[in-house]
Amino acid sequence: MANPTAAMLVIGDEILSGRTRDANMHYLAGEFTKLGIDLREVRIVSDDRQAIIDALNALRQQYGTVVTSGGIGPTHDDITADCVAAAFGVNIDVRDDARALLAAHYERQGTELNTARLRMARIPDGATLIDNPVSVAPGFTIGNVHVMAGVPSVFQAMVASVLPTLTGGAPLLSQTLRVYRGEGDIAGPLGELANTYDDLQFGSYPFQKDGVYGANIVVRGTDGARVDAAMAELSALFAQ
């Protein structure tokens, strides 16, 4: 039986401009791999209302789970929550439980819960809150969409809150063989082996360092015995 599928929507001009390097996709992919959820697609969109709505609607209809990152802070360009509400066709407003979390947090800090900070308590109707033990301001889940912050430490904490609620499949296993030959030399026999083990994924990743070149061949699959068998044939095929 095929594993559940997922997609990620990364939101923010700072990612597309190159100002900020996204680390959240790498983290989410690793966590989903361990859980047995296949991350099939990642899209990056700017802080543009229609672009966010269109991408979200496309992804949530195609995949079982969608995770978004970015755009749920207190500033004017944090528009993700409003776009999610629009995509689902529901109202959005400050919600009492989210307000209470923020009020208690800022009171402990001796900081005012001003209008800008209160924006982080605006939650679409019908959504459930995602716990944020790092900075309190919650994410939220609506339908099959999990809306999370872009700051990596907060994103990771929110992912940890959501993972127990998701149904996984068979974890993806992988093994690697380093081959000191060019990809042009290994492509033919590697392709034939991949056709033989068509239930597995084969990847070839070239390297060159200090005048030495070759490729790391990675075999991935959910059946450990099949991965072992493919690796045995691979090792014999490209014996050094």
Q: What CATH number did the domain enclosing 206 receive? A: 3.30.70
Task: Provide the token pair at 170.
Answer: 């068979």
Domain tally, the chain: 2
* 208 shares its domain with 153: no
* 177 shares its domain with 121: no
pLDDT at 240 over 70: no
Q: Residues with Cβ < 8 Å from 6, sequence gap 6 or more?
A: 32, 37, 38, 39, 40, 63, 64, 65, 66, 67
* 155 shares its domain with 228: no
* 20 shares its domain with 72: yes
By C-alpha distance, which of 63, 46, 56, 59 is closest to 12?
46
Contact present, 24 and 10 (Cβ < 8 Å): yes
Three-state secondary structure string covering 26-81: HHHHHHHHHHCCEEEEEEEECCCHHHHHHHHHHHHHHCCEEEEECCCCCCCCCCHH
* Arithmetic mean of pLDDT over the chain: 95
* 90 shares its domain with 155: yes
Contact present, 147 and 130 (Cβ < 8 Å): yes
Q: What is the pLDDT of residue 50?
A: 98
Helix (H, G, I), strand (E, B) or coil at 203: strand
Amino acid at 3: N
Give the separation between CA 48 and CA 9, rounded to whole angstroms.
13
Contact present, 171 and 35 (Cβ < 8 Å): yes
Boundary of a domain, candidates 165, 192, 221: 165
* 13 shares its domain with 94: yes
Range of the domain at 154: 5-165
* 74 shares its domain with 139: yes
Boundary of a domain, candidates 139, 165, 191: 165
* 160 shares its domain with 98: yes
pLDDT tens for 146-203 read 999 999 999 999 999 999 999 999 999 999 999 999 999 999 999 999 999 999 999 9
pLDDT tens for 83-94 read 999 999 999 999
Boundary of a domain, candidates 112, 134, 165: 165
> What does pTM read for this prediction?
0.89
* 90 shares its domain with 21: yes
